[in-house]
């Protein structure tokens, strides 16, 4: 009898599941048909709607949810649908932001806009400006593509209420995005993102979004072009971050630079030239803006493939150092000449070197504040804590995302202690040595890296030698990042299931026992709640696991301290096999 009741219950649940799936599929199909009847702009979108008419999987992926808006703004694949980056979803987000700004800033609201070289970036920047202007918000927009730090600088210098940067950072060419900044020039954090999201969610993409004509608003002065003088002030301000005084350095250092088809070409080459580094060669094939990233499909200086062409140039010119910046020029990667080949250096390694250089030079020139503060993210190397401690620098750990580093600068500023901030960095090649902007700045990063290299070269020390010196002093730290892709609605659910399993019932990765877990979703050390787990394992290993906020990926950060780098690699190979078994 009991078995019969259980069977009936099973069938009822199955019927409910089938019913809801049918209803959801019907809603998705209806939304697709609505778009098909109402989309009248952008021939690419009209063509895509027609081509997907008989492909239910494509329709589902394009319309099963609204493109997620959070502290990272929007980011997604370019195309048609609610789960895609297109002029309609960009306008909707802009209308939500406009409504938020108008409510919060009753008097003379304004928004600054910049954009990178990605496909449709210029178009998305202009349609956003049209929505803001229609809402009565004064718009400042760069006349040409400009890096992310230039946007942050413009927000602060022009006293804007907010700012947007149209970019998908280092993602492949099929992506674009839209980062939102507050009046402090920092990417918005949790509270503002929620309020803006509430505004966006209250809108219908076709019925509640209003815009006018870009050229007409330009003539009327509602849209304003940011002049070259502001850009020059940005360059001059970055130059003030130099840590040199009168000591001699080797400015003949032979440098290869690649903007990876992005925004970095003009500012990076200009600042190096004006600082006296005249032995700089640009990778010609990657010099011009190209949203297809023809020579580097994944334009991320963290990976070897993106740096490969630059390394070939370095070998050809027998260069000392290779520098590359990502498309929106907020990340910078380097390779230096080793004994046998060029060696790619990680963001953790360069960050530690810069922190040590900044501290030592500030002390040498009596420029160290009485209570210096450095900031890093929780997934960034713990070696930074050892370096900071040696120089009596307080180090603050924040959640992943440079916006949280920017937030710490704001907190210092509110206490009248802004000058106490000396450096912030994250493992993903983001650095900032001053408070003039509130996001990572690859113009500043490239400038300081070349200066540091030239300083040590004059002393007969390579960066690899200096890094080895730091390892011997503080211990051998290695950090590894693995990303696992989970595409579509089923992948999104799979990621959530994995995180829940780790929270509730997971005890070990093979022989690596989990001794302690920090669940940042509960809120730790006054940090915002976030879907992040930090696990402390046996054998001096820590793991941080989190879903990416901008891509359909689960990211696993592994930190190991051992007797040597080879010892660390051995531990990593053992551990990653166990992790892959769990996540495959």
Which residue numbers are catalytic?
169
CA distance 179 to 184: 14
**Residues with Cβ within 8 Å of residue 503, at least 6 apart in sequence:** 517, 519, 521, 533
Instruction: Find where tokens 């009046």 sit.
Output: 183
Backbone torsions φ then ψ of 528, nearest 5 degrees? -60, 150
- Ordered DSSP codes for 208-243: S-----HHHHHHHTSEEEEPHHHHHHHHHHHHTT--
Exposure class string for 92-102: b at 16+ Cβ within 10 A, else e:
bbbbbbbbbbb
Q: Which of 515, 193, 243 is nearest to 354 (CA)?
A: 243
| E runs forming strands in 427-511 | 430-432, 476-485, 508-509
CA distance 36 to 43: 12
DSSP summary character for residue 556: E
CA distance 572 to 563: 13
Q: Residues 350, 329, 556, 179: what is their CA dihedral angle, to the nearest 10 degrees? A: 140
Neighbours of 229 (CB within 10 A): 8
> Distances in Å between the alpha carbon of 371 and those of 314, 428, 477, 488?
41, 27, 27, 48
Q: Which of 550, 367, 320, 351 is nearest to 470 (CA)?
A: 351
CA distance 465 to 491: 44
């Amino acid at each position: 009898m009991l078995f019969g009741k259980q069977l009936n219950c099973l069938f009822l649940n199955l019927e409910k599941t089938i019913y809801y799936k049918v209803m959801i599929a019907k809603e998705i199909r209806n939304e697709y048909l609505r778009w098909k009847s109402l989309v009248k702009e952008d021939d690419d979108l009209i063509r895509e709607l027609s081509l997907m008419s008989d492909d239910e999987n494509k329709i589902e992926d394009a319309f099963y949810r609204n493109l997620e808006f959070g502290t990272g703004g929007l980011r997604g694949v370019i195309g048609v649908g609610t789960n895609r980056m297109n002029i309609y979803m960009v306008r909707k987000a802009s209308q939500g932001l406009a409504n938020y700004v108008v409510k919060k800033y009753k008097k003379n609201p304004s928004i600054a806009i910049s954009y990178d070289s990605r496909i449709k970036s210029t178009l998305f920047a202009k349609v956003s400006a049209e929505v803001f202007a229609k809402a009565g918000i004064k718009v400042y927009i760069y006349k040409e593509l400009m890096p992310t730090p230039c946007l942050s600088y413009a927000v602060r210098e022009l006293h804007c209420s907010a700012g947007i940067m149209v970019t998908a950072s280092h993602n492949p060419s099929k992506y674009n995005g839209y980062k939102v900044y507050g009046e402090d020039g920092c990417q918005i954090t949790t509270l503002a993102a929620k309020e803006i999201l509430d505004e966006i969610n209250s809108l219908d993409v076709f019925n509640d979004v209003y815009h006018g004509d870009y050229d007409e608003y330009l003539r009327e002065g509602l849209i304003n072009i940011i002049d070259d003088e502001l850009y020059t002030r940005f360059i001059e301000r970055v130059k003030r971050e130099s840590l040199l005084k009168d000591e001699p350095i080797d400015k003949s250092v032979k440098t290869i630079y690649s903007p990876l088809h992005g925004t970095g070409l003009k500012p990076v080459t200009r600042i190096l030239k004006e600082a006296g580094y005249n032995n700089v060669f640009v990778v010609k094939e990657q010099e011009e803006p190209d949203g297809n990233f023809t020579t580097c499909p994944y334009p991320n200086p963290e990976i070897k493939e993106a740096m490969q062409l630059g390394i070939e140039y370095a070998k050809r010119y027998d260069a000392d150092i290779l520098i590359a910046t990502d498309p929106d020029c907020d990340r910078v990667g380097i390779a230096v000449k080793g004994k046998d080949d060029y060696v790619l250096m990680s963001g953790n390694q360069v960050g530690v070197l810069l922190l040590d250089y900044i501290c030592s030079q500030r002390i040498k020139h009596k420029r160290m504040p009485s209570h210096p503060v450095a900031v890093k993210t929780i997934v960034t190397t713990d070696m930074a804590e050892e370096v900071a401690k040696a120089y009596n620098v307080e180090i603050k750990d924040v959640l992943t995302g440079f916006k949280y580093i920017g937030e710490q600068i704001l907190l210092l500023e509110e206490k009248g202690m802004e000058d106490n901030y000396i450096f912030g960095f994250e493992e993903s090649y983001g650095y900032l040595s001053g408070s003039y902007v509130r996001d990572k700045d690859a113009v500043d990063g490239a400038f300081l890296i070349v200066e540091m290299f030239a300083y040590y070269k004059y002393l007969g020390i390579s960066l690899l030698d200096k890094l080895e010196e730091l390892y011997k002093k503080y211990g051998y730290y290695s950090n590894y990042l693995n990303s696992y892709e989970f595409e579509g609605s089923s992948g999104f659910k799979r990621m959530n299931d994995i995180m829940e399993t780790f929270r509730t019932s997971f005890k070990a990765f093979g022989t690596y026992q989990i001794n302690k877990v920090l669940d940042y979703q509960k809120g730790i050390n006054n940090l915002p709640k976030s879907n992040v787990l930090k696990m402390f394992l046996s054998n001096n290993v820590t793991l941080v696991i989190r879903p990416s906020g901008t891509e359909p990926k689960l990211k696993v950060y592994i930190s190991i301290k051992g007797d040597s780098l080879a010892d660390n690699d051995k531990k990593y190979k053992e551990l990653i096999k166990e992790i892959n078994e769990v996540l495959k």
